[in-house]
Amino acid sequence: MSPTKGVARKPATVAATTRSGSERMLEQHLGITVRDLRLRYRLTIADLASRAGISAGMLSKIENGQTSSSLDTLFQIANALGVTISNLFRDFNTPTGGAQLIKNGEGMEVVRAGTKRGHSYQLLAYDQGPKKVFDPFLVTINDKSEVFPDFEHTGTEFIYLLEGKLRYRHGKQTYLMSPGDSLTFKGKIAHGPIELIKVPIRMLAITMYGDEATDPR
């Protein structure tokens, strides 16, 4: 064997190693997708293989991620399943996700300074990691005679009124709010409800922290 041929073998070995990772993942994804679609349409391996014009053995290997498939073969399979070829690649490399769902009425009840009666805070998201990014509350007020202290805190606050009617103060300014109205302001300036006009009052109150928070004028 000549030295030239011996050197030429190294890139081929490296390429094969490189393919084994991402291509293996793609093969497994395609196999699972094809099998799920086949089962959804209640087709046997023999049925789908016959429609696609390939052998049942080849289809079985594809479904088990044991072989690479040409685009022509994938096109035939997709056509036999009645889907576009892009459907076979859908969700490949898509992050798993991990959203936090809080069901209606299951928000954590929080007691805040100045809240004594007829006034509740439900925290709609929590366990946000070592650095708090935001606090979303569903605020409910049932007692029209309740008197609120001035609130002051870091961050930017956003209020969206869902139900009821009230007059809200921020600094020297007051704002009449009805359902559908929203208010955004700096939390470090004294603020809070000064007149509860119509109860019950329900509003979303979201405080955003950090330098990335919007600084409203």
Q: How many other C-beta atoms are found inside a 10 Å radius of the C-beta of residue 98? A: 5
What are the CA-CA distances from residue 45 to residues 52, 68, 137, 205 (Å)? 10, 18, 53, 55
Q: The whole model's pTM is what?
A: 0.56
| pLDDT over 50 (residue 3) | no
In this predicted model, what pLDDT tens digit does every residue of 21-66 receive, in sequence order? 677 888 888 999 999 999 999 999 999 999 999 999 999 999 998 8
124 in any annotated domain? yes
Could you tell me the residue range of the domain that residue 39 belongs to?
10-89
Same domain, 121 and 199: yes
For 157-201, write each residue's pLDDT tens digit.
999 999 999 999 999 999 999 999 999 999 999 999 999 999 999
pLDDT confidence of residue 116: 54
Radius of gyration, CA atoms only, the chain: 30
By CB neighbour count within 10 A (0-12 exposed, 13-18 middle, 19+ buried), where does 205 fall? middle
The percent helix, strand, coil of the chain (3-state, each to 5) is 30, 30, 40
Domain boundary (89, 123, 156) is at 89
User: Which amino acid is located at 132 in the chain?
Assistant: K
What does the alpha-carbon distance between residue 149 and residue 194 come to, in Å, rounded to a whole number?
Answer: 9
Task: Give the residue ranges of DSSP H helices in 41-176.
Answer: 45-52, 56-63, 71-81, 85-89
**135 and 174 belong to one structural domain:** yes
Per-residue confidence (pLDDT) for residue 17, from 0 to 100: 42
